[in-house]
Amino acid sequence: MRKLHLILLLLFCGATVTGVVAQAQTQTRKVSIDGLIYDLKHPDPDRRVEAARLLGVHKLNQSVPALIEAAADPQPSVRLAVLEALAKIRDPRALHTYITLTADSEANIRQKAIAALLEVYVVDESGFVAGTRKVIEFLNPFDSDYNTLVVEPYVPVSADAVRALAQRLEDPETGVRKAAVMGLGTLRGRAALPQMKDVLSREPENGIKIEYFRSFYKIGDPDACGRLVPYVNDPDKAVHDEAILTSGLLRCKESVDAVMDIYQMGIKEREKVFGVIPASSSDDLQIKCLQALALIGDDRAAKLYLPALRHDKEDFRVAAAEGLARLADPQYEPVLVERSAGARGKRFQLALAYAFYRLGHKERLQDMVRELGGMKHGDQMFSYLVELTPDQLADLYPHLRASKGKTRIRILEAVGVAGAVQNLAEVQSYTHDSDANVASAAMVAVRRIQARQGL
C-alpha cells in the first residue's frame, strides 16, 4: 500500500511538474512574441534587427502592424530586416509599406521592396504562384530565361504600386531600374506606358532595354511599335533579337521593312553587316526575322513566305505557313495545296492545317484540336487558337463538347484568352463540370473575359 501511495505521489508530482513546465513554456512563447514586438523599439539597433528577423522566421501575422511601424526606423539595417520579415509573412496589409520602401535611400532596400511588392500579387500565402499566368513561352525561341509571369486581367492592381515602380525607372542603380521595368510588365502597368516609352530612349543598359520590350508586350501596347523599330538594327545581338521578337508579338507593321531587309541580307552571325548588326549563326537571325514576320502577317512579307515553304529546315516552313495563315488570302491557296502534298514534319503539317482553316476550311480545325492536349504540339496549337476571333471561337464549341480532360481545359483556356461577351454563355456552361479541373478552367476563362470586357 505504501509503495502504491509512493507511486501515485510520484505520478502526481510528475504531472504537476509537466503542467507547470507546459504552462511555463506557453507563457514563454507568449512573452517571447510580445518581447520581440517590444524589441522592435529597443534602443539597440542590433536588438531591433534580431527581433524583426525572428518575427519573420516564425511568420507571425500578429506582428505585422508593429513591423509596418518599424519600417520607418532610422537605421537601414533595421528597415531591411523589417522588410524581409514582412516579405516572409506575406500579409497584404504591408503593400503600402513596400510602396514606401521602393523610394528608400538604400538601393538594396529599394530593390527588395519591389520584389516584395510583386509577391503581393504573384505569390500566395503558401508560397505558390497565384493570380498570374504565363505568356508567350511557346512563342519565344530566343530566351529561355524569359520571365513570363503576368497578373491576370481580373486581378486589381494598386495605382500607387504602379506609380511607385514608374518613379524608379531612372533610379541610379541598375538592379533597381531593371526590377522596376520588369515589375511594370508583370503588373500590366498601363498607366506607366508614357513614362516607360520616354525613359527607354535614355536607358544605357542593354539588359534593361530588353526588359522594356518584354514589358511592352506583357502590357499589350501596340503604340510602342514606333519605339521598337530603331532597335531592330541595334548593334547588340540580344537587343536586336528581342526587338525583332517583340515587333512580331505586337504585330508591328512599322517594323516589317526593317526586318525584311535583315532577312534578305542572309546574315551570318560573327560577321558585320554595314558594321551594324552582328549575327549569331548561319541562319539564326534569319529564322528569327521570318518568325517575327509570320506573326505580323503582312502582305509585304508574302514574297518571303512563299519560297520559305520549300526550305529544307522545318522551322522556316512552319513560319512561312503561319505567315500565310495570318494573311488568309485565297490567292495563296494553290501554293498551300501543292506544298501540303507529302509535307514533311508534323509541325509544318499543323501549320498548314491552320492556314487552310483560316482560308475557310473549317474541317481542318479538327487536326489542331486533336493535338491540343498533347505535350509535343499542344502549345503550337494553343498559339493558333488564341488568335481566333470571337466568331471563329464558336467553331470550337462542338470540339469542346466532344472532348474531355486536358483538351477540354485547353479549349476553355483559349476561349478565355481570346473570347468576348458572345462566348460567355458557352464557357459558363462548364463551370459546374463533373471534372473539377475543367470547372476551374471554365471559371478562370469567365473571369478573364469579364475583366477584359469590363463586366
Domain boundary among 279, 296, 313: 296
At which of 333, 357, 381 does a domain end? 357
Cα gap 1→4, rounded to integer Å: 5
Other C-beta atoms lying within 10 Å of the C-beta of residue 84: 18
pLDDT digits (tens, 9 = 90+) for 110-127: 999 999 999 998 865 444
Lowest-confidence pick of 120-124, 238-242, 274-278: 274-278
Contacts of residue 133, defined as CB under 8 A and 6 or more positions apart, other chains included, come to: 149, 150, 152
Q: How far apart are CA 408 and CA 454, in angstroms?
A: 26
| 289 and 308 co-located in one domain | no
The residue among 61 and 29 whose pLDDT is bigger is 61
The reported pLDDT for the residue numbered 153 is 86
Q: Are residues 216 and 123 in the same domain?
A: yes
Residue-level pLDDT at 123: 65
- Could you tell me if 395 and 415 are in contact, meaning their C-beta atoms sit under 8 angstroms apart? no
Residues 292 and 304 in one domain: no
Q: What CATH number has the domain bearing residue 304?
A: 1.25.10.10
In a domain, 6, yes or no: no
Question: Residues 69, 70, 76, 81: what is their CA dihedral angle, to the nearest 10 degrees?
Answer: -120
350's CB contacts (< 8 A; 6+ apart) are 367, 368, 371, 377, 380, 381
End-to-end Cα, the chain, rounded Å:
82
**Predicted pLDDT at 138:** 41
Whether 245 and 190 map to the same domain: the answer is no
95 in any annotated domain: no
Whether residue 197 is found in the same domain as residue 273: no
150 and 81 within one domain: no
403, 369 contact by CB (below 8 A): yes
Domain assignment of residue 208, given as a range: 110-220
Based on the fold, state whether residues 187 and 273 are members of the same structural domain: no
Beta-carbon count within 10 A of 431 CB: 16
Residue 16 lies in a domain: no
Number of compact structural domains in the chain? 5
Kindly report, residue by residue over 347-371, the tens digit of the pLDDT: 999 999 999 999 999 999 999 999 9
Query: Among 174, 202, 220, where does a domain finish?
Result: 220
Q: Which residues of 275-312 are buried (b: 16+ CB within 10 A; e: fewer)?
A: eebbbeeebbbbbbbbbbbbbbbbeebbebbbebbebe
Share of the chain above pLDDT 90, in %: 78
What is the spatial distance between Cα 388 and Cα 48, in angstroms, rounded to a whole number?
A: 57
Instruction: Judge whether residue 426 has pLDDT over 90.
Output: yes
pTM attached to this predicted model: 0.85
The reply to whether 98 falls in a domain is no
- Mean pLDDT, all residues of the chain: 87
Domain-located, residue 161: yes
pLDDT for res 146: 56
Instruction: Report yes or no on 19 lying in a domain.
Output: no
Average pLDDT over residues 189-211: 96
> pLDDT class for 283, splitting at 50, 70, 90?
low
CB-count burial class (<10 Å; 0-12, 13-18, 19+) for 175 = middle
Q: Is the pLDDT of residue 128 over 70?
A: no
Phi and psi torsions of 187, nearest 5°: -90, 5
**403 & 451 share domain:** yes
**352, 336 contact by CB (below 8 A):** yes
Residue 241, domain member (yes or no): yes
Same domain, yes or no: 352 and 430: no
Tell me the residue type at 106.
Answer: E
Task: Give the list of residues 6+ apart from residue 109 with CB closer than 8 angstroms, or none.
Answer: 76, 79, 80, 83, 101
Indicate whether 216 and 287 sit together in one domain: no
Closest to 68 in 3D by CA, of 52, 54, 46: 52
Residues 379 and 438 in one domain: yes
pLDDT of residue 33: 85
Q: Kindly state whether residues 52 and 122 are assigned to the same domain.
A: no
